[in-house]
Amino acid sequence: MDDRAANHQDDENMANDNDNDDYDLSTTARENLLTLMDTFIQQILNIRKTLLGVSVSALILAPIAIGLSVYLIRHPSFFAILEIENEFGTVLSVLLGSVIIISSIWFYAGIKQYRKIGSWNSRYNAYINEKKEINRKISAQFGLE
């Protein structure tokens, strides 16, 4: 009888250990997921800084390119070059037109990206503040301060 009781007790201990292991695995998986999410958000924040630089350069360089192209097209000697140099004038006209079109698209994309980054930044700051508040509440509730 003692062997059966000991075996039964061992089985209960193993079941409790398995329940604790499941809890530990669940807790560990949750902590790993939260850590992974925080790391992912931090990487996005770094990418955001790069995208902000690209959008600011688009906001600065695209108007300069458009302005320079328009200035060259409106310059009186531009039409003289078109008349004298047929092939060169045609290529120059196409290139300047391409610069204007591409720079306009780049400028529009820069404005759009800058706005999206701004809205993402405000949502990210709200997330950080909410996370700090939740951590503070949990710390206060369990006396972990």
Tell me, yes or no, whether 21 lies in a domain.
no
Tell me, yes or no, whether 16 lies in a domain.
no
pLDDT of residue 106: 93
Tell me, yes or no, whether 37 lies in a domain.
no
Which residues span the domain enclosing 105?
42-142
Q: Is the pTM of this model over 0.85?
A: no
Place of tokens 């996005």: 44
User: Whole-angstrom Cα distance, residue 3 to residue 103?
Assistant: 85
Tell me, yes or no, whether 34 lies in a domain.
no
What is the number of structural domains in the chain? 1
Tell me, yes or no, whether 8 lies in a domain.
no
* Digit-coded pLDDT (tens) for 45-101: 788 888 888 888 899 999 999 999 999 889 888 888 888 877 888 888 899 999 999
Tell me, yes or no, whether 124 lies in a domain.
yes
**10 has pLDDT over 80:** no
CB burial readout 117-140, b (16+ within 10 A) else e: beeeeeeeeeeeeeeeeeeeeeee
Among the residues of 75-85, which ranges form H helices?
A: 76-84
Tell me, yes or no, whether 60 lies in a domain.
yes
